[in-house]
Structure 1
Amino acid sequence: MTFSIAAHQDGRFGIAAASSSPAVAARVVHLRDSVGAVASQNVTDPRLGPVLLDGLASGSSPEAAIAAVLANEPNAAYRQLTVVDASGAAATFSGHLTLGVHGEATGPHCAAAGNMLSRPDIPEILCGAFTSAGGQLEERLFTALSAGLAAGGEAGPVYSAGLSTVSGIGWRDTDLRVDWQESPIGELGRLLEVWLPQRDDYVQRGLEPAASPGYGVPGDDR
């Protein structure tokens, strides 16, 4: 029910995901400053994301972090995982009970996976699009997600999408979600166009409120 890509760029981490089920990003996306990006999907157990990030934080490689989690996961056959660490190394796992047509792929600084897909190479398309795209991390993630959709995406329609990033400041500097909509990836792109020019202003408002720019809305008298 999901296709997603996790990636690293210039010390930042991000994930973009889409699904036929509602609120996909609420369950799938796991990010940690200076540590990595993890997607936990298929028959999703969100608890696996923080455990995988803990493994990366302790010095494990993505492959070793996945192996350690699976060794203690009684329902491993149902899980699909992607992991990218601070060096850009990546690893994936799909249990043998992953739903429908499924696949996974890794590329430079990225990993992708999907289930109930229209074709098994959708994750390869995601990674290829990310690798060849230019721009900021958010833009490259959105390009990858759009390429996956254009190539067929899920076997059925998608209704939710999300894109989140962390940049070492202590919170997600981009965290956009479309939780139920007929064209969620297109709507996500529209939100991204609105958000990106303002992102750094909102970061400054958090870190240096006295020096931050005004909001430019009624009631803001700065």
Structure 2
Amino acid sequence: MRPRALHRRVTTRLAGVGTLCPFAGEHGAVATQSLVNIELGRKGVEYLADGLAVEDALEALLNADDGAENRQLHGVDADGSFVFSGEECKPWFGGHDGSDAVAGHYTVAGNLLTGEEVIEAVADAYEEHAPQRGAESQAGTEGARESVPPADGEPTDPDGDGAAPLPDRLVEALAAGHKAGGDKREELTVQSAALVVEDTEERAFGRAYTDLRVDATETPIADLRATYELAVEGHADAMAKYEAWRMKGERATGVRTRKHRNERSE
């Protein structure tokens, strides 16, 4: 079974994090952090596409990596998740495996953080706006924020499960971690953030707001949210114009067909 969507989101006090950390494909998503090795992300997604489980794929990569103790590597697929932090990562570092939570399979990891509360805040915010599974999960729906509607004709809550759109939930999770302290290197003012969602559902048009980056800014979360909301608005406008053109074309075709039939009958 393929998941409906796979995702990575990330922010740091360095420029261009979106080019280094998040990787997603049809069968899973992987993030490489701390002392970044982009080949771990690329090969991780390839291994998942070859049919390996996420735990087997990422453990195999770490076993072959001489710098594993300086890495953070985590990922998800349709059936599970995996989180690893090497002992030589810079404190505070750590991760969270949310596979048993109501939000399904997800992971959070970070290094050079102000403390564990950052990871906890990200996980809590993500779960708060996640799809609800059963009556025992309904308590979290009252706190769900009003979210930006998806741009391809879907309602804000497309599945009727109390969930905000996935990209929206990811931005909110990053914002919660940032508010809780985030990256402790306050002397580094240039920051970046990125959002990647791999949608496995078939669509007539790809959604233009699921692969976004803010590469250099002093306000990464606010800028990523603004970029996302503007991209949603632009995608909605484009789809509305396309639908109007399509309907106009169908009406014109109908008129020509009727005229042709009338001419033949005469």
The match for 1:44 is: 36
Report what 2:101 is aligned to: none
Instruction: Identify, as 1 or 2, the structure richer in helix.
Output: 2
Matches within 5 A, 1:101-140: 101-107=92-98, 108-133=104-129, 134-140=163-169
AA of the residue aligned to 2:53: S
Give the Cα–Cα distance (whole angstroms) in 1 for the partners of residues 232 and 38 of structure 2.
27
TM-score when normalising by structure 1: 0.80
Alignment gaps of 5+ in structure 2: 99-103, 130-162, 249-266
The aligned residue for residue 190 of structure 1 is 226
**Deviation at 1:124?**
2.8
- Stretches of structure 1 lacking an aligned partner (at least 5 in a row): 1-8, 214-222
Q: Does the C-alpha gap of structure 1 residues 100 and 212 become closer, same or farther in structure 2, counting only changes over 3 Å?
A: farther
Aligned AA for 1:193?
E
Query: Is 1:166 aligned to 2:198, yes or no?
Result: yes
**Is 2:4 aligned against 1:11?**
yes
Deviations 1:19-69 (A, max 9, x none): 011111110010102x01111111101111121112222332222112111
Alpha-carbon distance in structure 2 between the residues aligned to 1:204 and 1:78: 48
Identity of aligned residues (%): 31
Mapped partners of 1:135, 1:41: distance in 2: 27
Aligned counterpart, 1:94:
85
Cα distance change, pair 156–51 in 1 and its aligned pair in 2 (3 A): same
Distance in 1 (alpha carbons) for counterparts of 2:247 and 2:4: 24
What CA distance in whole angstroms lies between the structure 2 residues aligned with 1:10 and 1:139? 18
Q: Over aligned residue pairs, what C-alpha RMSD do you find?
A: 2.8
* Preserved CA contact (<8 Å) 1:31 1:37: yes
Code of the residue aligned with 2:19 in structure 1: it is A
Q: State the TM-score, normalized to the length of structure 2.
A: 0.68
Q: Does 1:80 align with 2:87?
A: no
Q: How many residues align?
A: 201
